[in-house]
């Protein structure tokens, strides 16, 4: 029988610890994203495509999996 996981990525179901880290990073990212969003509005004098919550969600979604990578 061959090993089906060799060389490939195994999709694992996120655990509660993942969601706890995601929530903590998201809560830290919200004020920082809000500040960056306000700065972008002032600097460019137009609204960015994504709002501060979308930006914070994206940042938390990018950082959290990096913590759990082997």
Range of the domain at 53: 16-68
Structural domain includes residue 6: no
Number of domains comprising the chain: 1
Structural domain includes residue 7: no
Per-residue tens of pLDDT for the chain, all 70 residues: 555 555 556 667 678 999 999 999 999 999 999 999 999 999 999 998 999 999 999 999 999 999 888 7
Structural domain includes residue 4: no
pLDDT of residue 70: 73
Structural domain includes residue 1: no
The DSSP code for 46 is S
Structural domain includes residue 51: yes
Task: Evaluate if pTM is beyond 0.85.
Answer: no
Structural domain includes residue 37: yes
Structural domain includes residue 22: yes
pLDDT of residue 9: 64
Q: Round to whole Å and give the CA distance between 26 and 20.
A: 10
Burial degree of 44 (CB within 10 A; 0-12, 13-18, 19+): exposed
Whether the CB-CB separation of 23 and 59 falls below 8 Å is answered with no
* Total residue count of the chain as it appears in this document: 70
Tell me the angle at which helices 16-44 and 52-68 cross, rounded to the nearest 10 degrees.
140
């Amino acid at each position: 029988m061959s090993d089906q996981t060799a060389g490939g990525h195994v999709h694992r179901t996120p655990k509660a610890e993942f969601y706890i880290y995601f929530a903590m990073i998201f809560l830290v990212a919200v004020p920082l994203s809000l500040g960056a969003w306000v700065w972008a509005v002032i600097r460019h004098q137009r609204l960015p495509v994504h709002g501060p919550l979308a930006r914070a969600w994206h940042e938390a979604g990018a950082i959290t999996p990096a913590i759990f990578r082997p």
